[in-house]
Amino acid sequence: MAAVSLFRLSPPLAAVLLLSFLAAVQSIGVNYGTLGDNLPPPAQVAQFLKEKTTIDRIKIFDVNPDILRAFANTGILVAVTIPNGEIPGLTDAGYARRWLAANIQPFYPATKINYILVGNEILHWGPQNLRDNLVAAMRSVHQALLLSGIKDIKVTTAHSLGILESSEPPSLAKFRPGWDTGVLAPLLQFHRETKTPFMVNPYPYFGYSPENANFSVFHPTKGVFDKFTRRTYGNMFDMLMDAVYVSMMKLRYGDVEIAVGETGWSALGESFEQPRCSVANAAAYNGGLVRKYKSGRGTPLMPRKRFDTYIFGLFNENLKTGPLSERNFGLFRPDFTPVYDIGVLRQGTAAAPQQPVPRPALPAPAQEGKKWCVPKPDATDAELQANIDYVCSQGLNCQPIQPGGPCFDPNTVRAHASFVMNTYYQSEGRHDFNCDFSGSGVLTFTDPSNGPCKYVS
């Protein structure tokens, strides 16, 4: 009924309602790791996610019954992970059924379990007997689910990008020899037969260098051109995803869906981890990821693909070992205060049940009046095209420069770039650096609007 009356509304209003409806039914997910001695009880976590955030799916690294119980009847989807050590045993059909009966069936369907991951990053970390039994264990768990009459839990496992021999350029990527036909082809065959996604953990974080900083965190760059596919990559995440896709295609499994099991960025690190680890980088990366997810734009080789995505992670976890950065991947502190906001907090709700976090004061908005972002006179068409590709890959509205849109004419790269560069500047918070575009943008005090083409201000 809602859908019918929607179309009696004016088209823009209908579009807004439709978008908010879509947003309401699908959101980015988050990994809820529990390696902390100061984390809130699962019931509070469930209540917090449901009431204060738009996050509608979590992934956990075990089958913790307290968490499964806490998320019952919340509507939040829960992806669970079977401990690695269970893999050899699970190849036995009887054991797989008993395992399900003990660990899943007591909670399902009150708790909306959507995925069972059979182990985590087995191919990368081994040992060999787990790798050898991985696909058989996945098949066995899938069979056990069917025999129990459960049809809507998907079986998968997550892979680090250590499965790739190379990822750059994406067109030349391929899986590591030995794993390609040995494990990954049978695994992809399982995913094809069961219509389940191949799950990967891409971390541009690990590919970061001060030179490619902007490219890694979804900031504007000229992009990276793949001469074999003639596609320009605006960010490293897309490049890693297409590297996975090309590798799958080389084994003839390009039809299998891909999901993102983990990806994220640490907000704080040791001095030797600088300048990688910062709140600004973490907010830019995870914020860019959320915008990308909402836009449903996909990658250069997989346009309009929206990958089921789980950010790592929900909380800073103080018991994680390794350098300081490992304990600072969280979107939230254990007291639920946000480390930074990436647009997953519900409007009008105080994010923090405890004391509010003082926000650093931003520079005062331009007192001189309104500003617009336009191309510099000496910016080249190649630079401007890269800006268009970048902005339009970020989920911002590029409809106006499409044929039929109010800003299609004049149909030049410069005019189109001007419109979308300004859209980007205005929507990113109007900081001067939002108009830098690697030195190809400049601010102006003159409204560039032109006839029906109205620039945002």
Ligand X SMILES: *[C@@H]1O[C@H](CO)[C@@H](O)[C@H](O)[C@H]1NC(C)=O
Q: Beta partners for 82?
A: 118
Residue of 86, 121, 317, 428 marked catalytic: 121
What is the token pair recorded at 235? Answer: 């960010």
Token pair 């971390």 is found at: 203
- Between 100 and 373, whose beta carbon lies closer to ligand X? 373
What is the token pair recorded at 258? Answer: 């891909």
Torsion of CA 238, 167, 164, 180, to 10 degrees: 100
Q: What is the DSSP letter of 105?
A: T
Q: Establish if 209 lies at the interface with ligand X (CB under 6 A).
A: no
Q: How many CA atoms lie within 13 A of 266 on its CB side?
A: 20
Token pair 């994010």 is found at: 351
Q: With residue 193 as reference, give the H or E element that holds it.
A: helix 185-194
For ligand X, the binding residues in 266-285 under the rule CB under 6 A are none
Which of 436, 454, 456, 457 binds ligand X (CB under 6 A)? It is: 436
Which of 37, 211, 368, 378 binds ligand X (CB under 6 A)? It is: 211
For ligand X, the binding residues in 145-204 under the rule CB under 6 A are none
| Residue 126: CB minimum distance to ligand X, A | 36
Q: Which stretch binds ligand X (CB under 6 A): 86-94, 209-217, 285-293, 366-374?
A: 209-217
For the question of residue 270 being annotated catalytic, the response is no
- Please choose, from the candidates 109, 105, 188, the residue with its C-alpha nearest in 3D space to the C-alpha of residue 147: 105
User: How far is the C-alpha of 455 from the C-alpha of 435, rounded, in Å?
Assistant: 15
- Between 198 and 215, whose beta carbon lies closer to ligand X? 215
Torsion of CA 38, 281, 368, 452, to 10 degrees: -110
Q: How many CB atoms lie within 10 A of CB 164?
A: 21
Q: Establish if 431 lies at the interface with ligand X (CB under 6 A).
A: no
Size of the site for ligand X (CB under 6 A): 7
Whole-angstrom CA distances from 210 to 77, 82, 276, 340, 403 are 37, 37, 7, 22, 39
For the question of residue 262 being annotated catalytic, the response is yes
Q: Which stretch binds ligand X (CB under 6 A): 211-219, 252-260, 277-285, 401-409?
A: 211-219
- Between 21 and 433, whose beta carbon lies closer to ligand X? 433
Token pair 């129990």 is found at: 148
Q: Which stretch binds ligand X (CB under 6 A): 87-95, 303-311, 431-439, 445-453?
A: 431-439
Q: Establish if 214 lies at the interface with ligand X (CB under 6 A).
A: yes
For residue 409, the SS3 value is coil
User: How far is the C-alpha of 412 from the C-alpha of 433, rounded, in Å?
Assistant: 25
Q: What is the largest CA-CA distance in the chain?
A: 74
Q: Establish if 219 lies at the interface with ligand X (CB under 6 A).
A: yes
| Residue 211: CB minimum distance to ligand X, A | 6
Q: Which residue is nearest to ligand X (CB)?
A: 436
Residue of 262, 317, 383, 428 marked catalytic: 262
Which of 181, 433, 447, 452 binds ligand X (CB under 6 A)? It is: 433
| Residue 210: CB minimum distance to ligand X, A | 6
- Catalytic center residues: 121, 262
Q: Which residues bind ligand X (CB under 6 A)?
A: 211, 213-214, 219, 433, 436, 438
